[in-house]
Amino acid sequence: MSYLQAYEVTLGIDDVPSVVKLDDTMPNVNDWKSAVETAMLLAQMQTPLANIEMLECKEYIPDEFVGIDYAYPIPLTIN
C-alpha cells in the first residue's frame, strides 16, 4: 500500500470548470484540504480578479506511486 496520494481539484473559475492536479510530494500538500487550498491559491495567482469556487476534489493513488511506501517531504524553497 502506498501512502502517497494525488488530488484532482476541480475549481469553478468564473463559472468555468478547471482541474488542478496536485500530489503530496509538493510542498504544503499533505491531505485533501491542503490540496484544495493550494489549488485555490494557484488559481488566484493566475487570475486574481476571478470568482473561484471549489467544485470537487478526488483523492487517489496514481500508478507511478504504487509500491512506494514513503517519500521524504520536499522542503519549500522560495527564490
Decide if pLDDT at 22 tops 70. yes
Confidence of residue 52 (pLDDT cuts 50, 70, 90): very high
Residue with cell 485533501: 32
State the Cα–Cα distance between residues 63 and 73, nearest whole angstrom. 19
Mean pLDDT of the chain: 86
Decide if pLDDT at 11 tops 80. yes
Confidence of residue 4 (pLDDT cuts 50, 70, 90): confident
Q: What percent of the chain has pLDDT over 70?
A: 82
Decide if pLDDT at 1 tops 60. no
State the Cα–Cα distance between residues 79 and 72, nearest whole angstrom. 21
Answer whether residue 71 is part of any domain. Answer: no
Answer whether residue 70 is part of any domain. Answer: no
- The whole domain housing 28 covers 6-64
Answer whether residue 10 is part of any domain. Answer: yes
Answer whether residue 79 is part of any domain. Answer: no
State residue 77 phi and psi, 5-degree precision: -125, 135
Answer whether residue 72 is part of any domain. Answer: no
Answer whether residue 15 is part of any domain. Answer: yes
Instruction: Enumerate the β-bridge partners of residue 53.
Output: 12
Domain count of the fold of the chain: 1
State the Cα–Cα distance between residues 69 and 73, nearest whole angstrom. 13
